[in-house]
Amino acid sequence: MPFAKLGLSSPLVQAITELGYKTPTPIQEQAIPAILSGNDLIATAQTGTGKTAAFVLPLLERFSNAETLRGKRIRALILVPTRELAVQVEASVAQYAKHTPLTSMAAYGGVDTAPQKERLIEGVDILVATPGRLLDLAHQRAVHFDELQVMVLDEADRMVDMGFVDDIHKIIVRLPENRQNLLFTATMTNDVRAIAHAFSDSKMTDVAANISITPNVRAAATINQWLITVDKDTKSALLSHLINEQAWDQALIFVEKKHSAAKLVAQLEKRGIQADSIHGGRSQAMREKVLDQFKSGELKYLVATGVAARGLDIGELSRVVNYDLPFQPEEYIHRIGRTGRAGASGEAISLVDISDFKNLCAIERRLKNTIERKDVEGFPVKKAVPVSNLDHVKKSSR
């Protein structure tokens, strides 16, 4: 998806194109439209996910037609825990704002306040600041918050760790009540939740969009692969059982044929599990709609044919399921590569019936390993699936 589709106008698109950004990262795809719509937002995202652009770009967009600022006023405050981050984030703001008239500055401790005060006299659209220095400048009446529209708390968990909670509270009470709040954190802890509450009388946690993004980790080692052998006629019952029993938060479920996709959705729904599908038989518009629902978390279980899912930027997932095994081992590798998050490892689960055996052999040979098998109570297998011989000499019985 191009940046312009996210609602960014040409001066911003030009700046990011010049920086070499080709497509938005997952957090940008989700956060930019949410922020442009004026909503509060809580996002769990680590450094490296493109989170800075995710909140800076919509701010710049929002202010692009704004009226002239009065002196010592700011439109947005980005609070960061460290001086280094203040410098870094402000540098990004300046790069993204290059083709706009919008201004930015960084205010941090450890240096003389005079140049910072001087710079604030004319007003600054986006102020990036560490809490202590900001309070200092506010006490000295070098900055006023009455025109502030957006407050961003970046790396909120680090702010807590560094003991800035009191300062944050002192800053919040100085801000206009009617403002947009954005909170970014690498981890969601109770302390961070408490700050989110304090932001605006718990309004934030009730209405804010919640976005969770973890960096792309491709290491296969973090992917927990396992399989269950099953009879063809109990496959959908087994899948429903696993979804419920293991309380899966999310799953991308691969099937081989488009008619099996629709059938599986119906079978899951019969058991009270809401799912949807993308396959070649659905229009592009419909596929995109379903995909967006899946990405936003509104839809938890997406059934997809490999062909329809190919080329779609689904981002990182906690779990993929091979309801049918693919014919090509490479396709299996590609599918499981969609999981494997930093910290929490991804899962790739295959439901293997006897008709999948040939494909299983090819995949396991490609992996140079057999995939761990697990048994699930209540699903005895009538047609046992043999263990593949990795040297492909002869199949042996399980």
Among 21-29, 67-75, 175-183, 196-204, the segment contacting ligand AMP (CB under 6 A): 21-29
Instruction: List the one residue out of 239, 230, 236, 243 whose CA is nearest residue 260.
Output: 236
- The residue (of 91 and 135) whose beta carbon lies closer to ligand AMP is 91
- Which one-letter amino acid corresponds to residue 326? P
Instruction: List the one residue out of 330, 348, 329, 351 whose CA is nearest residue 339.
Output: 348
- Report residue 104 as tokens: 């930015």
Mapped onto helix, strand or coil, the DSSP state of residue 104 is: strand
Residue tagged 């593949």 (tokens)? 388
- Which one-letter amino acid corresponds to residue 207? V
DSSP string, 142-155: S-B-TT--EEEE-S
- 21 contacts ligand AMP (rule: CB under 6 A): yes
Minimal distance, residue 37 CB to ligand AMP, in Å: 20
- The residue (of 59 and 239) whose beta carbon lies closer to ligand AMP is 59
x/- map, 333-352, ligand AMP, by CB under 6 A:
--------------------
- The residue (of 26 and 326) whose beta carbon lies closer to ligand AMP is 26
Q: Out of 34, 42, 51, 254, name the contact with ligand AMP by CB under 6 A.
A: 51
The CA distance from 82 to 79, in Å, is 9
Residue tagged 């006629």 (tokens)? 233
Residues 6+ apart with CB under 8 A from 320: 251, 252, 253, 254, 335, 336, 338, 339, 346, 347, 348, 349
- 52 contacts ligand AMP (rule: CB under 6 A): yes
- 44 contacts ligand AMP (rule: CB under 6 A): no
Cβ atoms of 137 and 143 closer than 8 Å: yes
- The residue (of 1 and 111) whose beta carbon lies closer to ligand AMP is 1
How many residues of this chain interact with ligand AMP, rule: CB under 6 A?
A: 11
Residues 6+ apart with CB under 8 A from 263: none
Minimal distance, residue 204 CB to ligand AMP, in Å: 22
- 53 contacts ligand AMP (rule: CB under 6 A): yes
Cβ atoms of 31 and 58 closer than 8 Å: yes
Instruction: List the one residue out of 386, 351, 380, 358 whose CA is nearest residue 228.
Output: 351
- 58 contacts ligand AMP (rule: CB under 6 A): no
- 123 contacts ligand AMP (rule: CB under 6 A): no
Among 46-54, 172-180, 259-267, 288-296, the segment contacting ligand AMP (CB under 6 A): 46-54
Among 34-42, 43-51, 259-267, 375-383, the segment contacting ligand AMP (CB under 6 A): 43-51
Minimal distance, residue 128 CB to ligand AMP, in Å: 13
- 48 contacts ligand AMP (rule: CB under 6 A): yes
| DSSP-derived secondary structure letter, 383 | S
Residue 4 phi, psi dihedral angles, 5° rounding: -60, -30
x/- map, 293-332, ligand AMP, by CB under 6 A:
----------------------------------------
Binding site for ligand AMP (CB under 6 A): 21, 24-25, 28, 47-53
